[in-house]
Amino acid sequence: MLLTPPALSSIQWSRSQTAVCLEGMEFETPQLSSLSSCGLYFKFNYKQWQRGDLKISRTFLCSSQKPREDFPFKRKQVRPQNVDLPPILPKRKKKPYPVPIKKILQASRKDKKLAQMGIEKPLEPPKNGLLVPDLIPVAYEVLDAWKILIKGLAQLLHVIPVYGCSECSEVHVAEAGHHIQNCCGPTSAQRRSFHSWVKGSINDILLPIESYHLYDPFGRRIKHETRFDYDRIPAIVELCIQAGVDIPEYPSRRRTNPIRMIGKKVIDRGGFVEEPRPWRFVNSSSSPLVDLDTHGACSRYPPPPLADVPRIAQETMHAYETVRSGVTKLMKKYTVKACGYCSEVHIGPWGHNAKLCGEFKHQWRDGKHGWQDATVDEVFPPNYVWHVRDPKGPPLRGALKRFYGKAPAVVEVCMQAGAEIPRKYRSMMRLDIVVPDSDEAQLVA
């Protein structure tokens, strides 16, 4: 398609006794193709001169196409209509490494080569035990959002019904449990894989992932005999403490001199420091850290007024996104380990030596965990549940489960309470797909 160049806005003439000349003008038109970032340029040049009694006039038109450097073209991102969730990993197999094994072996060979040459391993904060100043505000923001998230969910669960299966880990957010036959509990054969629904709690929405609190992550490792000397707190809280949050009840060592390592051996850690005794409270409700744990959260907060439910749901949704984005930023710098076979998580450069793993082939490992780098979903699990468009409508059926979407449990609770659904969850919830009737499901391609 030929584009019409824009009209001349101003003309500059230069007169002489023998010739009249029009100076060259440049014009730029929109792109001719949306697949390229090049623009078409036109150049007009009008000249008139006189030879004796003969007057000659010429108009020259030149065009060129070159990349537009000042206005880079950005293709519009089109979100898909539906997105499949990550596949459920088999329990009788080790989890895949989040970092490719080739990069792990390459870094290991590089460290071994430096150790053989007697060269110290170059370490940057926080790998050398020092804090990252830019991430301290992020840690405080995550901890504040974590408190708002627990409080908001505890209030919303008084209004939004949640059910959990007593035989498996399935969770459903609706007025009644669904009729999808996917239970894999011990007695599922007697129930034809139907779930045995009971009233759920906040721990069904926010899966409790705990880790040991360490005063010095670079100090002595936790042994199986000394595991009861350390408190277990939520993994997100421990990550924030090691990132710079100061909690008097859970102190942490703040180094001023970096540690030194040659290969995998620490040659200077500033000595071992005696760890302070952990705080012990007679009643857990009197603890100042009660707002950081989900245990008994529903009993601590009364039901909210119905007029405040949408506002609380929106605040809870914002707190959930803040916690998830903040944990992602912290885990890019601070080392977090996870077992490749079970759900155990450890915050620190090395995993502990407690023999508590009972998953696949734990006898070969004497109960020790198979530590590897953790992912965000292992520290802060999304816990996907079926999305219910009408909570008061008929229960979900197994014949139509391919038309149903899923969403994180927190997002589903907040959505049913009146919060706005973030755009990135719309495709996995399949909001643009029309669910057919049971008789029409067989006719759908």
* Omega cis (within 30) before 126: yes
Same domain, 105 and 62: no
Sequence-ordered list of residues with C-beta below 8 angstroms from that of 441, at least 6 positions apart, any chain:
399, 400, 403
Residue 436 has a pLDDT of: 80
293 located within any domain = yes
Residue 66 has a pLDDT of: 54
Check if the beta carbon of residue 426 is closer than 8 Å to that of residue 80: no
Residue 433 has a pLDDT of: 81
Check if the beta carbon of residue 154 is closer than 8 Å to that of residue 202: yes
- Angstrom distances, CA of residue 159 to CA of 156, 170, 414: 5, 20, 11
Check if the beta carbon of residue 327 is closer than 8 Å to that of residue 352: no
Q: Where are the alpha helices (DSSP H) in 196-288?
A: 202-205, 235-242
Q: Tens digits of per-residue pLDDT, 93-133? A: 999 999 999 999 999 999 999 999 989 888 999 999 999 99
348 located within any domain = yes
Number of domains in the chain: 2
Q: Tens digits of per-residue pLDDT, 29-40? A: 444 444 444 455
Question: What is the C-alpha separation between 28 and 359, in angstroms, rounded?
Answer: 67
Measured in Å, how far apart are the chain's first and last C-alpha atoms? 39
Amino acid at 97: Y
Same domain, 264 and 349: yes
Residue 8 has a pLDDT of: 43
Question: What is the C-alpha separation between 143 and 171, in angstroms, rounded?
Answer: 26
List the beta bridge partners of residue 27.
Answer: 42
Same domain, 58 and 205: no
Same domain, 62 and 107: no
Check if the beta carbon of residue 174 is closer than 8 Å to that of residue 161: yes
Amino acid at 382: P
Domain range for residue 49? 13-67
Check if the beta carbon of residue 388 is closer than 8 Å to that of residue 179: no
- Angstrom distances, CA of residue 396 to CA of 53, 179, 283, 411, 437: 94, 6, 43, 19, 11
User: For 211-244, b where at least 16 C-beta lie within 10 A, e where not — what string?
Assistant: bbbbbbbbbeebeeeeeeebbebbbbbbbbbbbb
318 located within any domain = yes
Grouping H, G, I as helix, E, B as strand and the rest as coil, residue 144 is: helix
Q: Is 204 exposed, middle or buried (0-12, 13-18, 19+ CB in 10 A)?
A: buried
92 located within any domain = no
Question: What is the C-alpha separation between 285 and 103, in angstroms, rounded?
Answer: 47
356 located within any domain = yes
425 located within any domain = no
User: If you write DSSP's letter for every residue of 57-86 in order, what string do you get?
Assistant: EEEEEEEEEEE-SSS---PPP---S--PPP
Q: Which residues of the chain have pLDDT under 50?
A: 1-38, 71, 282
Same domain, 30 and 138: no
